[in-house]
Each structure stands twice: as structure tokens, then as C-alpha cells.
Amino acid sequence: MTTTDNRAPALAPGGLPLLGHALRMKRDPRGFLLALQSGDPVTAIRLGPQTVYVINDPALIRGALRDPETFGKGGPITERFRAMFGNGLGISDGDLHRRQRALMQPAFSHARIVGYAALMSEELERRLGAWQADEHLPVHQEMGDLALDNLTHAMFSADTDVDGTEFREATATVLNGLYRRVMDPTGLLARLPIPSNLRYRQAEAHLREVIDGVIATYRADGKDHGDLLSMLLLARDESGGEAMTDDQLHDEVMTIFIAGAESIANTLAWACHEVATHPAVEQALFTETDTVLAGRTAKHADLPRLEYTKRVIAETLRYRTQGWALSRTATRETVIGGWRIPANAAVMYSPHALNHNPAIHTAPDQFDPDRWIPDRARDLPRGSYIPFGTGNHTCIGEPFALTEMTLTLASIASKWRLEPVPGKEPRAKVALTMPVDALWMIPRHRQH
């Protein structure tokens, strides 16, 4: 990229003195960022005193994400995450990121995913077997517990003493607190002596204590527990160099839990809701799972035949996007698509806005899994659907997440029909990962 064009992005209308567009971002980030999609390919907004450059064009977003030397990890969202997670794989950049990715990649190999899938199937068999027919079920909580249990089983061996419920509650508290911090351009709210800040600090301390305690235990006994944490502890680069430090291990474990459990749980909860409220989708899903599973729990070997289930997951990832905005920092002055970006400027893009742009997706407000039939999906512009990112920062846990979500949705459909509870319409909370506020459903046994 060169700086031969001096066209500066225009400032979006509607900013307020001092706050800029921060209030609009806090109240309705999805609507605000979607509105920007109909304007210039690159638009400037202000979050307090900071100017942020929002990239709206999918090709330009893809180009930026695949150029980490120019668009490095940074910006208002990333820096808030960095304060909590340190330099985990999702946040680190440059040589550190390349080294960490190489060290961690074997933990997400095909052979390892098959092993994790076996643990997932066992947990599904246990959990789905405990559901009570015809009683109100908090599906949002069930999916949260399931996602955290699966990650806990993969990360820590069965003999590790981790209170999953308390860990999940602390994770949710931290995510909610992070959103408030991202949306506070002054940084003052985080320092106020109010109950929400106290809960945030207590939850953060609990997560650190649990993770650091398990790392210390593993270091002391020196054993291979056959789990993900052991793989990270024992990992060495190709030259046989030093292992990860305790601080880096902590950052990686924290990133996996925060980035993984919550987004998987939210997507599964929304998938259950969308299936239940779209009869044609529900029937197609039942037809597939009846053919492939015939009432049993899904296993890794079933994945190639669960094509419709995968399309439902793909559509849920689009329709109920888990990331409303992500950020980078321009490491040098540059031009992207003819628009000048100053050095050290914060750059932002919105996966949610891309996924709901009618110029990109036909009828974006309709839940339609068949839009992911290969012949239809290949017509989408490159970069317009990136639920796991692209380039060298593509989520390393993508195969883990897709395996878990497909096995879970197929197993539920194989055994249960979930009906919405009348008068309890779920709503999306305004938060970093767009969770459902509450999803109560009624399980009905399916007959085979």
C-alpha cells in the first residue's frame, strides 16, 4: 500500500460534543455500524477524543486483515481485551503471534479434534439425558454450561478441581464489564467505586486464580495429563526452544475460555431459538438427524452427513453475529481503497454490519440456512462472511467450535423438539458477543 491518494475519510454525522459517536455505539452499535455500510467504503467516527476509521467494504476489510504488517492488533476494542487477556493468540501480533500459533496448532489438529469430539458426545449424552420433558428449560444457561464444560474437559483433565459454575459466572461478568469499558471513551467508569466494578474485579481475580493455580499444579507434578493444557505446557517450537512462560500460558488459556465458551454458547442458544421459530427449518433438520442419527447422540464420524445442520449453524453465525465490531491499528500511514489512514490510527470493522448488509446478502433479515448451499454461497463477495476472521489471525479454534456446535445441534434435534415458551420472547443483549438475554423453552420427546 502507498500513500499517493490524500482523500481523507469523512466524519459520520450525528456526533456529540466531547462524546462524539460513543453514545450511539453504546446504545445501538449494530444499527449505527449497519447505517455506515450504505455510505463511503471508509468512514471516520469519534469515540470521545479518539478518531476511529471504520472500513465498510468487504474486499477492503479482507485486505486489511490479510496485511498484519500495516494493520496490527490494536484499537479501542483490542486494547480493552489486552488489558484483561494480556498477549493471548487472539491479541498478539508479529513474531510473538507466529511463534504462539506454531506452538498451539498441534493442539487443534484433526486427531485432537476427534478426541475432543468424543468428550463432547459423552457430555451431550449425559446432559440431554437429564432434561425433563414438558418443563421450562433455561436453554441459554444449558448451552453456557455445556460450552464451558466442553472447554474445561478439553483444557483440564478429569482430575482437575475446577468449579465450572463459578468459572462460567465469572467469565460472563468479565465479558459484560469489558463491553462497558470499551464503550467508555473517558476510562472513568471503570475506576468508580460502584458494585458492577467490584463484581468485575472479583470475577477477574477469580479467573486468574483458577487458571494460575492449575498451571502451577501441572508444573509441579510434571505429568502429561493428556489434555489441552498439558499440550501447551509441553509445546516446543521447531528448533526445540523454550516452552511458554507461565504468563503466556495464562494469557492463552484465558483467551481460549473467554473467546470460546461464550461465543459457542450464544450461537447454540440462538440456533435453538431460530430452529423452533422456523417450522420449515425445523422439519429439514429433523429429517436429516432422523436419517443420520435415528435418535442417538451425534459423533465425529457423523459430521460429513450432517450438511443441513452445518448450514443452520452457518446461518446462525451470520444472522446472530457474535462480533458487532473488531479493531486494528494502522502501524504506518497508508491508503486503503483510495482512502488515507494516518499512522497509529484506530481502525474498526463490523462483522455484524457485513452480515446484514442487503447489498451483500439477499434478504439479510430472513433466517435462511439454504443460502449456504455451495452453489449460492460461492456468489458472495470475498470477505463478506468471516465469522472466524481471515488471514494469519483466523481463529485457531474454528474446527473445535464448528465441531461442537454441529454435534450439539444435531444431538438435540435427534432427541428433543424444543418449543418456545409463550410470552418469553428472547432479546439480544447489547454486549461484545451479543448474547441472548434469556431463552426459556419446553423440551418434548421425539418419537422415532
| DSSP collapsed to 3 states, 207-258 | HHHHHHHHHHHHHHHCCCCCCHHHHHHHCCCCCCCCCCCHHHHHHHHHHHHH
d(CA 325, CA 43): 14
Q: For residue 142, what pLDDT is reported?
A: 95
Cβ–Cβ under 8 Å, residues 115 and 128: no
Q: What are phi and psi of 424, to 5 degrees?
A: -125, 65
d(CA 258, CA 261): 6
Cell digits of residue 24 = 450511539
Those residues with Cβ within 8 angstroms of residue 193's Cβ, 6 or more apart along the chain or in another chain:
none
Nearest one of 240, 269, 292 to 441, comparing CA atoms: 269
Q: For residue 367, what pLDDT is reported?
A: 98
Cβ–Cβ under 8 Å, residues 52 and 76: yes
In which order are the strands placed within the sheet that holds 416-420?
Answer: 137-138, 440-445, 416-420
d(CA 156, CA 232): 11
Q: For residue 357, what pLDDT is reported?
A: 94
Q: For residue 1, what pLDDT is reported?
A: 44
Burial class (CB in 10 A: 0-12, 13-18, 19+), 407: buried
Q: Residue-wise pLDDT tens for the chain (448 aa)? A: 444 457 899 999 999 998 899 888 888 888 899 999 989 999 999 988 889 999 999 999 999 999 988 998 766 666 666 766 677 777 777 888 888 888 888 888 899 899 999 999 999 999 999 999 999 999 999 998 899 888 888 887 655 666 767 877 887 787 777 767 766 656 677 777 888 888 988 988 998 888 888 888 888 887 777 788 888 888 776 665 667 888 888 888 888 877 778 889 999 999 999 999 999 999 999 999 999 999 999 999 999 999 999 999 999 999 999 878 888 999 999 999 999 999 999 999 999 999 999 999 999 999 999 999 999 999 899 889 999 988 878 889 999 999 999 999 999 999 999 999 998 889 887 666 778 889 999 999 998 7
| Positive or negative: CA dihedral 280, 134, 270, 289 | negative
Q: For residue 2, what pLDDT is reported?
A: 42
Could you tell me the domains of the chain? 1-86+323-355 (3.30.43.20), 98-321+376-445 (1.10.630.10)
Q: For residue 184, what pLDDT is reported?
A: 66
Integer Rg of the chain from CA: 22
Q: For residue 370, what pLDDT is reported?
A: 97
Cell 442417538 sits at which residue?
296
| DSSP output for 45-78 | EEETTEEEEEE--HHHHHHHHT-TTTEEE-HHHH
